[in-house]
Amino acid sequence: AQKVTQAQTEISVVEKEDVTLDCVYETRDTTYYLFWYKQPPSGELVFLIRRNSFDEQNEISGRYSWNFQKSTSSFNFTITASQVVDSAVYFCALIEYNFNKFYFGSGTKLNVKP
Amino acid sequence: GAVVSQHPSRVICKSGTSVKIECRSLDFQATTMFWYRQFPKKSLMLMATSNEGSKATYEQGVEKDKFLINHASLTLSTLTVTSAHPEDSSFYICSASEGGPYEQYFGPGTRLTVT
């Protein structure tokens, strides 16, 4: 079974629209970490956020915000007022404390059109 | 922040030859390094985990004789694709950790094309 599911394969929005990327995870561990990475066409992974399982506070960083809800095992990512430079593939990932390895979702390709 | 480099960034090689990819942690000592493979429009798949001075642990389905990993120092790990074939063409990404796996820093990736 997939440990991290990103059901949206590709999303297209027009600049200045808000967009939410969904991430649902599955784990039996009580201690785990969730991540979001951005992968622009150059291929390099850009770290966006890390959250541990004991911190359910939502986070905002500029136009980016994250909604972590353990009750629904979701860690969604919202970009407010999207820009063309936000166009990239975004990966959600999970590390379980006891298993020592990353599980990546399949990624969501975001196209922001001018 | 922690910086991880990879060399080369792109490589084209002929079928049957071997190619080596280097992964270096530039400003920290990496006790553990990870190698990932990414097919076009696909996710990252962990290939192997290596700890400095010991043999790498390969994920199920990854041929250890095909993908040789060496982690000889705390700042360098190498991945050698032996007798490369076109199906080995992929984007290879390394990451390095000086502590727990949740503190992994990714390299910029190496695009391998086998002709």
Q: Residue B63 and residue B75: Cα distance in Å, rounded?
A: 24
How many Cα neighbours within 13 Å face the side chain of A42? 8
Interface test with chain A among B31, B33, B43, B105, by most A beta carbons within 10 Å: B43
Q: Which residues of A touch B93 (CB under 8 A)?
A: 43, 45
pLDDT of residue B101: 65
DSSP sequence for B70-92: EEEETTEEEEEE-S--GGG-EEE
How far off is chain B from A103, nearest CA to CA, in Å? 8
Query: Using the beta-carbon criterion (under 8 Å), do A45 and B93 form an inter-chain contact?
Result: yes
A93 pLDDT above the threshold of 80: yes
Q: Residue A106 and residue A4: Cα distance in Å, rounded?
A: 8
Q: What are the angstrom distances between the C-alpha of B88 and each of A42, B7, B13, B58, B63?
A: 20, 17, 11, 16, 12
pLDDT confidence bin for A57, thresholds 50/70/90: confident
How far off is chain B from A16, nearest CA to CA, in Å? 26
pLDDT of residue B20: 98
How far off is chain A from B101, nearest CA to CA, in Å? 6
